[in-house]
Amino acid sequence: MVDKRKALTAVFAALADPTRRRILECLAGQGERRVTELARPFRITLPAISRHLRVLEHARLIRRRRRGRTHFIRVNAAGMTGAQKWISRYAAFWDSRFDDLDKLLDIAQQKEKPR
């Protein structure tokens, strides 16, 4: 249970940063990309991109393959599933709160009806 919580925390921390979300978007449906190629559209330094990639890797949202000095990055599709399932739980939580709110709204309006 604690491991799952740590894993989720890592995923949400990774996704909280807009640059990292854009990196994931760039990788989507692309297969493997070299780190240097991936860094090109982002106007930040290579070390900064590398830091972002390490966070994404720690969160298991990407996979890295090394061939000599070249690093290849790809999306880890399974990594996102856990996060999305968790977010869905929040949807269910809100929905059940709103079911209760529905009942209270009904009662409140019944009280206002003229007899």
Contact residues toward another protein (CB under 8 A) are 1, 4-9, 12, 15-16, 21, 24, 80, 83-102, 104-106, 108-109
Instruction: Count how many Cα atoms sit within 13 Å of the Cα of residue 82 in the half-sphere of its side chain.
Output: 17
Q: How far is the CB of 15 from another protein (least distance, A)?
A: 4
By C-beta, is 38 or 56 nearer to another protein?
A: 56
109's tokens? 């309006």
By C-beta, is 24 or 53 nearer to another protein?
A: 24
47's tokens? 């070390």
Q: Do the beta carbons of residue 27 and residue 33 sit within 8 Å? A: yes
By C-beta, is 71 or 80 nearer to another protein?
A: 80
Q: Residue 20, Cβ neighbours under 10 Å: how many?
A: 21
